[in-house]
Chains A and B, each alone.
Chain A
Amino acid sequence: MELILVNLIDGLVTGLLLFMLSAGLTLIFSMMGVLNFAHASFYMLGAYFAYQISIALGFWMGLLIAPLIVGVMGAGVERYGLRRVHQYGHVPELIFTFGLALLIEELVQFIWGKNQMPYEIPEVLNFTAFAIAGNSIPAYKIFMIFISIAIFIGLLYILTKTRVGMIIQAALSYPRTVEALGHNVPLIFMGVFGVGTALAGVAGVIAGPVLGTFPGMAFVLGSIVFVTIVIGGLGSLWGALVASLLIGWITTFAKSYNIEMEDILNGIGIATPEDLSENLFRDLWALTSPQIADILPYILMVLILIFRPAGLFGKRHS
């Protein structure tokens, strides 16, 4: 029973981390209609910058400065890269971001090398906050939860309660009209892109010490972020949040409990075949939930696309 509570907390941490990545991506996607393949690369840059800054100025300055640098870089990419490619259509944009992702990975390897970086949790947070039945919950995880929730509330407030947010929302759905009303839509796009990548940067800064800072970190997280925004519904902040948490909890619980396919099949009334080694479906029978935990989100995405193509909270029907 206690383990359920522990897993809920772990899943929450994973989910919120995913949310910080997908929140930026979903805004960018709905705005430009293009998947930013390099989004996870900005997450990686955040971790590396923060590591470099933390050596000189400590973790907290890293948390403050690194996302800013990443955000400025993101805005620069939009202003001088994507905007120029935009006129040629979506495919060149897609290829541009794809190339950018490869470029950033090579660049990171070139500067920092291919090894893991010793990016550490700050001393003040390096203790056990509390323990549930022998399972300690590190204080850093609590810190991660608070940071992500603060960011979510902040974003939600800006997008729904402020004038800037309303213009952004309007620009997302009717860019021409907003432009005709005298607003600088390209500037808004650049701003959203910058903030989106900065959010990815924040995620990198706080995830780097726990998930490892290495050149493959963008690749590992890259595809799951896209799955998240498709499940949540493109352009929806709430959707991104719900989908992230859903994925966080599903994968955590699937890994924590050894649910065997045999038990499930037996449970729904299919008897185990006598001789499994000769059986056509022997791999299916031998499956356990930790083995398939990481593909469950993809299965969920396929189901969502079939039954609710716009995503859980999606509004666009194009």
Chain B
Amino acid sequence: MKKITKLGAVSALSLIIGASAAFAENVRVAFIDPLSGPFAGTGTNGLHQFEFAAELVNEAGGVLDGDKIEIVAFDNKISPKESLIQLQVAIDQGIRYIAQGNSSGVANALTEAIDKHNRRNPDNRVLFLNYSAVDPALTNDKCNFWHFRFDANADIKMDALTDVIAKDDGIKKIYIIGQDYSFGKAVAAAANSMIAEKRPDIEIVGDELHPIGKVKDFTPYARKIVSSGADAVITGNWGADMLGLGKSVIENGFEGPIYTYYAAADGITAAFGESGKGSLRLVAEGLINPPASERAAEIYSAFKEKYPDGNVSQGRIFNVIEMLAKAINQAGTADDVVKVAYELEGMEHDGVWGGKLKMREVDHQLIQDVHIHAHTDENITFDYDNSGFGLVAESTVTMASADIPTTCEMKRP
């Protein structure tokens, strides 16, 4: 018995050593996002996209002299506290690149911790690749040299959205509703100020926050929206709150457009189906329909082949990996993240899903095309949730908010 144990321990040890030897050549990216709990669906889908994007780069020869990019997954259960522990684990393993996106609360905690870590440990600094947390503060008051945001932030998206709304003379009254936390409030504040600026004649007939993740039935909210006489609804809701609100509003007789940030993929597109057609709009980067280029179409088809149940719902992930690879190649090193960061800063790149990308030096916010999509089953090349429904771009704002002001005062090493 003892012998077997010993044998087992030795072989396990040799496996570990062998494994770490194999990893030595890889450029590792720690993916810290929820992989269990209520938001696991979104997290897992994001992980698949990261892994697939890394594979694409690796197949094309990797970075530097054939080094591979490897995604290492860490489950943070969407808790800021858990994320900091996972961050420490990742740093201890010698990982230099941290990717995270779900929840601005987590991103705020991570960016602060990374800034602190990098100041104290100049020998093993890390970079924060934020692919989805859109709280404007991250590239304003709380910005730092190590944080790069690849998604359009909440203000940029609202800027594009209100540009479209401003052109629609049929809209006279707008109802704003969102989840009661920092992001929901940021959306409401941006909507209020931008509509007042662009179309002072539009009346905000409702501006309301509801508890996040706790509302069983959105009918009463839907009734209020209908009886307020609103022509359009703006909401930053996501997940079950988005689906519940949207379905309820449509079912109870609202016929105008519902402008959203996140009403797609992860089962939401399939669940809305026919009922969302004609009313759901979504503002996002990443053009899926019509495909921007043959390459984009090929990538999407290949992704669907590998993950038949998955969606490319966060196209920006592909940009994160491509731009990181490019920066590492230009810097000639993957270990000196300061050099890599300076390469990323100001980088211009052709987006995987079309359009130009530019990482602004001043606040590390990626400037890119933002599209207003419609939920429909017509002219769909790539649907979501295998439902036949998907998003088609209705209008595009090129290089949206390229000159949006920032309060960021970045300190560079």
Interface mask (A193-213 → B, CB under 8 Å = 1, otherwise 0): 000000000000000001110
Instruction: Say which residue of A113, A116, A256 sits within 8 Å of B243 (CB atoms).
Output: A116
A118 and B273 contacting across the interface, CB-CB below 8 Å: yes
A266 at the binding interface (Cβ < 8 Å):
no
Q: Cβ of B271 and Cβ of A212 under 8 Å apart?
A: yes
Q: How far does the Cβ of A200 sit from chain B's closest Cβ, in whole Å?
A: 15
Which residues of B lie under 8 Å from residue A136 when comparing CB positions?
Answer: 251-253
Q: Is B330 an interface residue (CB 8 A)?
A: no
| A-chain residues with CB within 8 Å of residue B215 when the two chains form the complex | 294
Given contacts A114-B41, A116-B271, A216-B38, contact A10 B240 (CB under 8 A): no
Residues of chain A within 8 A of B210, CB atoms compared? 290
Is the CB–CB distance between B253 and A128 below 8 Å?
yes
Is B387's beta carbon under 8 Å from chain A? Answer: yes
Contacts of A256 in B (CB 8 A): 220, 223-224
Q: State whether A116 touches B223 (Cβ < 8 A).
A: no
- Neighbouring A residues of B309 by C-beta, 8 Å: 113
Q: How far apart are the CA atoms of A10 and B180 in the complex, in Å? A: 23
B5 at the interface (CB under 8 A from A): no
Q: How many residues of B contact A (CB 8 A)?
A: 38
From B112-120, B196-204, B262-270, the one touching the partner chain is B262-270
Contacts of A212 in B (CB 8 A): 240, 243-244, 247, 271
Inter-chain contact count A-B, CB under 8 Å? 102
> Which chain B residue shows the least CB distance to A114?
B41
Q: Who on chain A is nearest to B224 by CB?
A: A256
Contact of A131 with B227 at beta-carbon distance under 8 Å, contacts A116-B240, A211-B244 already known: no
Q: Looking at the complex, which one of A14, A114, A115, A253 makes contact with B217 (CB distance below 8 Å)?
A: A14
Q: How far is the CA of A285 from the CA of B221 in the complex (A)?
A: 22
Minimum CB–CB distance from B224 to chain A (whole Å) comes to 6
Closest B residue, CB atoms, query A253: B220
Which residues from A are CB-within-8-Å of B363?
none
Interface range for A = 35 or more
Residues of chain B with a CB closer than 8 A to A258's CB = 208
Asked whether A116 lies within 8 Å of B211 as measured between CB atoms, the reply is: no
Asked if A220 and B216 sit within 8 Å, CB to CB, the answer is: yes
How far, in Å, is B394 (CB) from chain A's closest CB?
24
A138–B253 Cα distance when bound, in Å, is 9
Output the nearest chain A residue to B242 by Cβ-Cβ distance.
A116
Other-chain contact of B270, A6, A118, A255, A293 (Cβ < 8 Å): A118
Q: Bound state CA distance, A6 and B220, in angstroms? A: 9
Q: Nearest-CB distance from A239 to chain B (Å)?
A: 21
Closest 3 CB pairs of A and B: A115-B267, A136-B253, A114-B41
Q: Which residues of A contact B (CB under 8 A)?
A: 3, 6-7, 10, 13-14, 109, 113-120, 128, 131, 133-136, 138, 210-212, 214-216, 220-221, 224, 251-253, 255-256, 258, 290-291, 293-294
- By a beta-carbon cutoff of 8 Å, the part of chain B in contact with chain A is 38, 40-41, 44, 180, 208-211, 213-217, 219-221, 223-224, 226-227, 240, 243-244, 247-248, 251-253, 266-268, 270-271, 273, 309, 385, 387
Some 20 contacts from A to B, beta carbons below 8 A apart, are A3-B227, A6-B223, A7-B220, A10-B217, A114-B41, A117-B271, A118-B273, A120-B273, A135-B226, A135-B252, A135-B253, A136-B252, A138-B251, A210-B217, A211-B244, A220-B213, A255-B224, A290-B210, A291-B211, A294-B214
